[in-house]
Structure 1
């Protein structure tokens, strides 16, 4: 399969400020990667560049050529791309209506919509696939429950199902443990480990060291809009590296494949 992502000499501006600087990155389909960095380092802008919500600056004459390739293609119909990317954020897109059930919310992944609007046609094959995904993510008891009545952890589980239903190649997770209590964080990490072991690719953006799963073996570090390090987890998750990245004294320990920092 083609690489999931290729970024070459990518610079991105938000307003008048350039927030990503000369980003070069290749991610293989099925790879497990964490992108680590402090708030404001450009992690979320990088995700928006991957999902084509932000576009790179055009290279002027004499500068290296800029390239953004996703699944081997540089041009996409954005609706189709959203189905294949599997983005998981802290809220379901568009804030689903109060009548949206867990199963319906998963089905919206086929259409990249906020709810199942009357003009959308759900086929039997889609329903069958949604039921398979609900079972895969251990969310069958949530199928008939209204999204608005779910806990934050349950909603995050449904969002993962929504991201998987149309394509299970890659999951893009942007700060997935935000707003979750300790029990919900543990459940989320167990689910993501299960998916990683089943072959689903994971691109995790976080500033929480504990979010980095044992199955993630490659770490990218970002600071001030640049990728400053790219390498094995064992080499980069050290007290010295993290202290430099977060500009504070950091201690780190490892237990059962998870790293913890304070």
Structure 2
């Protein structure tokens, strides 16, 4: 589904990746874990074509098997939710129009956007699924962080994408909202979707995720099955502090030892 080979990439004037390679297959559920500044969000921006790699002869970035990607087609295959999108979203957009905007790749409501009756009906169905029906006419800026995140998830789902990409999904949420969002993520996996999340909290890694990639300073430092990667030694090395990791019923937690 996603293949980076010897990719170099910059965020503005800063080099984030120097010849990084990574493959993620169809229907995989992957967590990308690492401290702030590891390159997690930049990696997702490469996957969604928000930024582009440096063009060098021996490197490539393929999405769904193709180096050249039509953005409209990509939006129908990947649903993306991030903290940046939430912060940049037009504040005086009604909740319903936030979801509808996903059909058009827009941020906010615009006069030239004329959704069909079917699109409006699907947007309402998705809002109901995510528990947001009663907030249909509320302005985006007046909603809680958890409600905003649910709306952006509904927006990401309008094209019934093959994969969901979630950048630090529970960032800024209180405990109740976090647990509610994790429950939704588990239900999405039950629908057969691929899922990629970035996080620096292992308690966000739902049991359905079976592969973990550890990143540090723009490099992949470990990659494999969750049970083999989420160990005390690996996380202690990653975060440069002594950590103990435990697992119960498919959920992982850690504490300072």
Output the TM-score relative to the length of structure 2: 0.92
Q: Which residue of 2 aligns with 1:237?
A: 230
Which residue of structure 2 aligns with residue 25 of structure 1? Answer: 22
Question: Per the alignment, do residues 145 and 29 of structure 1 end up closer, same or farther by CA in structure 2, a change over 3 Å counting?
Answer: farther
Where 2:165 maps in the other structure, the secondary structure is: strand
Find the counterpart in structure 2 of residue 9 from structure 1.
6
Specify which of 117, 124, 130 is matched with residue 137 of structure 1: 130
Please say if 1:178 is aligned against 2:171. Answer: yes
- Partners of 2:76 and 2:220 lie apart in 1 by 27
| 2: CA distance, partners of 1:95 / 1:16 | 25
User: Of the candidates 105, 109, 131, which is equivalent to residue 112 of structure 1?
Assistant: 105
> Which consecutive residues of structure 2, in runs of 5 or more, have no partner in the other structure?
none
**Cα pair distance change 1:256/1:141, threshold 3 Å:** farther
Does 7-16 or 42-51 show the bigger shift?
Answer: 7-16
The aligned residue for residue 122 of structure 1 is: 115
- The residue number in structure 2 matching 1:96 is 90
- Unaligned runs of at least 5 residues, structure 1: none
Are 1:253 and 2:253 counterparts? no
3-state SS of 2:86 partner: coil
Q: Distance in 2 between matches of 1:17 and 1:107?
A: 35
User: Given the alignment, which residue of 163, 167, 192 partners 2:160?
Assistant: 167
The offset of 1:115, in angstroms, is 1.6
Q: How many residues align?
A: 254
Q: Please, what TM-score do these two structures have when normalized by structure 1?
A: 0.90
Greater CA deviation, 14-23 or 210-219?
14-23
Cα shift at 1:166: 1.9
Q: How does 1:60-71 map to 2 (within 5 A)?
A: 65-71=58-64
Indicate the SS of the match to 1:76: coil
CA distance in structure 2 between the partners assigned to 1:185 and 1:139 by the alignment = 16
3-state SS of the aligned residue for 1:72?
Answer: coil
- Contact 1:83–1:109 under 8 Å retained in 2: no
Equivalent-residue separation in structure 1 for 2:8 and 2:175 (angstroms) = 37
The separation in 1 between residues aligned to 2:223 and 2:210, in whole angstroms, is: 11
CA RMSD of aligned residues (A): 1.8
Q: Please state if 1:193 is matched with 2:186.
A: yes
How far does the alpha carbon of each residue in 1:185-236 deviate from its partner, in whole angstroms, 9 at most, with x for none?
1111111111111212210011011110000000001111111111000001
* Paired residues of 2:76 and 2:161 also in contact (CA < 8 A): no
1:14 and 1:36 mapped to 2: Cα distance? 19
Label 1:57 to 1:32 Cα distance change in 2 as closer, same or farther (>3 A): same
C-alpha distance in 2, partners of 1:84/1:144?
Answer: 28
Q: Does 1:47 align with 2:41?
A: no
Moved over 4 A (4+): none
Distance 1:209 1:119 in 2: 43
Give SS of 2:243's match. Answer: coil
CA shift for structure 1 position 75:
1.5
